[in-house]
Structure 1
Amino acid sequence: MIEVMDATQVPHARAAGALVGRILAELRARTRAGTNLLELDAWTREMQREAGAVSCYVDYAPSFGRGPFGHHLCTSVNDAVLHGLPHDRALVDGDLVSLDLALSLRGVVADAAISFVVGERPTPEDTALIDATQRALAAAVEAARPGARVGDVSHAIGTVLTAAGYPVNLDFGGHGVGSTMHQDPHVANHGEPGRGYKLRPGLLLALEPWAMVDTAELVTDDDGWTLRSATGCRTAHSEHTVLITPGGAEVLTTPPA
């Protein structure tokens, strides 16, 4: 299913995106050595409740997971990159953390992810990895224009990641959002330009470049959810929800200044 927002839904999409951006910014500001992943999940639950938002994760039970997910936030650390199930783990200086949040507000979903290193001295390797996913996301936003094809967006992401020297996994990528979290079109993190669904105003897309340092292969934890690099290498994940407008892609999940 592919949904296209009408004029009455667009303000709700913007409000949902702004809330996701604000919550992720607040979580990042609160995270330090000693912060427990379950604390991050609890803080997310409380901020969603206060805003009147509904979690997209608590009852989420897709075929690839061991559902329902049962938490409000994906917390992936170091070699974990996607669907990190929160558990009783205190973060330490140097941990590379990815937080992924999707919620519904007034019937419209927004989805975003951030990656950062706990503490004040990230390694050059971690900085380069996170930066590559952010640059790939910026390239995807630039490519997501009315009349462009999904393949143009995928190609923009893959070009940045491969130029930075990172393998690209095609099992999981971006996707449409709307009244539900995962919709068509699928937006792979590499692809052929000029191919796929043609973008048009009103379309909401969650664009999410993610990378692992030295492998494109994932393994799944015993929890049935957390996806890690097969080699144990570090990982990073950056994501925004964007609205296709007549003038290009409007990023809805930018954190507040």
Structure 2
Amino acid sequence: MKVSLKSKEEIAKIREAGEILADCRAKAAELIAPGITTMEIDAFVEKYLAERGATPEQKGYRGFPFATCASVNEVVCHGFPNHTKLKEGDILTIDLVVNKKGWLADSAWTFPVGAISEEAKRLMKVTEQALYAGIEQAVPGNRIGDIGYAVGRCADKAGMGIVKALIGHGIGRKMHEAPDVPNFGRPHSGMIIKTGMVFTIEPIFTLGDSGAVLWDDDGWTIRSADGTLGAHFEHTLAVLEDGPVILTK
């Protein structure tokens, strides 16, 4: 698949979607506490986006029925919102793709629900650090493998698992475009990073060191195979002449 290099005008349109997403993520974070349900958060997100003239792109995507993916504890990705109340000590990932005038931005973030364990705090910290380590490598002339290596090294040093089945991706008019951006790799390998590329980086780590996952019967929900907690941090970024700029910050 050919990589679509975006103009500065196109990047500005993706940034507009990204700013709405970032505002929505911050507002949703204020709701996350013991006793709320992920269905209530999902309803808030859909209403908030409508008020901003935007839509949740994943709703209806290949039949996905919700505005958000809401993944709790050992669910590492693509969880369905439901009516179960969140409880103290849970961790929750909200993954969201915003469409504003046909241009898309994508971000996922893992949040604590009340007071959480030191283990869970460490998992979230390492996974978020890995996101920014990857972003630092997204400069013209580097290669996609440099991003994956930087991300994966964070998990390896911490003894955590990398969910290798799930990867970052190009984005623009479509939710998934070229290039693929794995969370592991060899330095100086893979596609050359060029000015105008827009893609996501999204490490997903587990406390267990295998990173292996299982799909639920619904075809979407993905859990750690060993039942350990999973965390997921994702930004959409653009590669400019002088390096990366985060569009969902």
- The TM-score normalised by the length of structure 2 is 0.96
Structure 1 counterpart of 2:168, one-letter code: G
Alpha-carbon shift at residue 224 of structure 1 (Å): 1.9
Deviates more, 1:7-16 or 1:139-148: 7-16
Read off the aligned partner of 1:84 and give its amino acid letter: G
Once residues 34 and 230 of structure 1 are traced to their aligned partners in structure 2, the CA distance between those partners, rounded to angstroms, is 27
Q: Which residue of 1 aligns with 2:72?
A: 77
Compute the displacement of 1:166 (Å): 0.8
* Deviation for aligned residue 1:54: 2.4
Which ranges of 4 or more aligned residues in structure 1 deviate by more than 4 Å? Answer: none
The residue aligned with 1:153 is 147
In structure 1, how many angstroms separate the alpha carbons of the residues matched to 2:206 and 2:152? 13
Q: Is contact 2:148–2:185 with CA below 8 Å preserved after alignment?
A: yes
Give the equivalent residue in structure 1 for 2:239: 244
Match of 2:194 among 195, 200, 203: 200
> Is 1:88 the equivalent of 2:83?
yes
Sequence identity percentage: 34
Task: Give the Å deviation of 1:106.
Answer: 2.1
**Structure 1 residue matching 2:70: 3-state secondary structure:** strand
In structure 2, what is the equivalent of residue 47 of structure 1?
A: 48
Residue 144 of structure 2 aligns with an amino acid whose one-letter code is V
1:8: Cα distance to partner? 2.0
1:220 to 215, 233, 237: 215
Q: Is the 8 A contact 2:166 2:204 kept in 1?
A: no
What is the aligned partner in structure 2 of residue 100 from structure 1?
95
Letter in 1 for 2:122: A
- Give the CA deviation at 1:159: 0.7
1:17 aligns with 2:23: no
1:209 — aligned with what?
203
- CA shift at 1:169, angstroms? 2.6
AA at the equivalent of 2:86: L
TM-score (norm 1): 0.93
Give yes or no for contact 2:46–2:55 (8 Å, CA) kept in 1. no
Find the residue that maps to 1:8 and give its secondary structure. Answer: helix
- Name the residue aligned to 2:129: 135
Once the two structures are TM-superposed, the CA of residue 198 in structure 1 deviates from its matched residue by 1.1
Give SS of 1:201's match.
coil
Q: Deviations over 1:67-113 (max 9, x none)?
A: x0011000000000100111221111111111111111122111011
Check conservation: 1:229, 1:235, Cα contact below 8 A: yes
> Alignment partner of 1:9: what SS?
helix
Given that 1:85 and 1:223 are in contact with CA atoms closer than 8 Å, whether structure 2 keeps it comes out as no
Question: Which of 174, 179, 185 lines up with 1:185 in the alignment?
Answer: 179
Are residues 1:165 and 2:134 paired? no
Which of 153, 159, 176 lines up with 2:170 in the alignment? 176
When the two chains are superposed, the root-mean-square deviation of aligned CA atoms in Å is: 1.1
TM-aligned CA deviation for residue 202 of structure 1:
1.5
Consecutive unaligned residues in structure 2, runs of 5 or more: none
How far residue 195 of structure 1 moved from its aligned partner, in angstroms, is 1.3
CA distance in 1, matches of 2:142, 2:163: 23
